[in-house]
Amino acid sequence: MRKPGVPHPRLPLPEGREDLAAFHAWLGDAIPMVGALGIESMSMHNHALTWQLALRPNLNDKGTGFGGALSAQTTLQGWCWVTLWLRGQGLARDVVVAEATQRFLAPVNGDYRLVCTPSEGEGIEQLSQALAERGKGRIALTQKLYCGDAFCLEAHGSYAVLAGRDQEQPR
């Protein structure tokens, strides 16, 4: 049973390609609300983290997607993107959201997908350079939610990678 103020143990760094199912299972243990968000699957391709989500656990009183749940999902997905990218670099660092905004464009009325990518083409390189020079850095990410072909929500977040104290784990 998780206790407030006690960090959850880190997932060991992958020895090759990340097992996203194992990461998803660990995420549910580390952040209890994850189990209630309706995340059905995760995939990563060309620096895009895509989630498939079920609408049912995220319904509002109108029978569409609840804005608070959708906001939580976008914020969490950005945190996952940075965490997974760091893990791919052999780093186990703390990541926090520094800023987050959402713009709701259309109702979410069915199962949906959420896609997270860097907001700027040079974002990954800038983060890499900041980590190498200062041991910490930030990256701006964009999350887009699609219900079928409909573009329903766009979110932006700034995520900070905190300076590590011997948190790199050998592979």
pTM summary value: 0.93
pLDDT tens sequence across 52-96: 999 999 999 999 999 999 999 999 999 999 999 999 999 999 999
Axis-axis angle for helices 20-30, 67-88 (nearest 10) = 120
Domains of the chain: 20-161 (3.10.129.10)
Q: What is the pLDDT, as a whole number, of residue 58? A: 96
Q: Cα 14–23–31 angle (5° rounding)?
A: 135
Q: For the beta carbon of residue 72, count every other beta carbon within 10 angstroms.
A: 18
Contacts of 23 (CB under 8 A, 6+ apart): 11, 42, 80, 84
Q: Which tokens go with 153?
A: 């929500």
DSSP state letters, the chain: ---TT-PPPPPPPPSSS--HHHHHHHHHHHSGGGGGTTEEEEEEETTEEEEEE-SGGGB-TTSSB-HHHHHHHHHHHHHHHHHHHHHHTT----EEEEEEEEEE-S---S-EEEEEEESSTTHHHHHHHHHHHHS-EEEEEEEEEEETTEEEEEEEEEEEEPPPSS-----
Query: How many whole angstroms from its chain centre is CA 43?
Result: 12
pLDDT tens sequence across 124-161: 999 999 999 999 999 999 999 999 999 999 999 999 99
Banded model confidence at residue 165, pLDDT cuts 50, 70, 90: low
Banded model confidence at residue 164, pLDDT cuts 50, 70, 90: confident
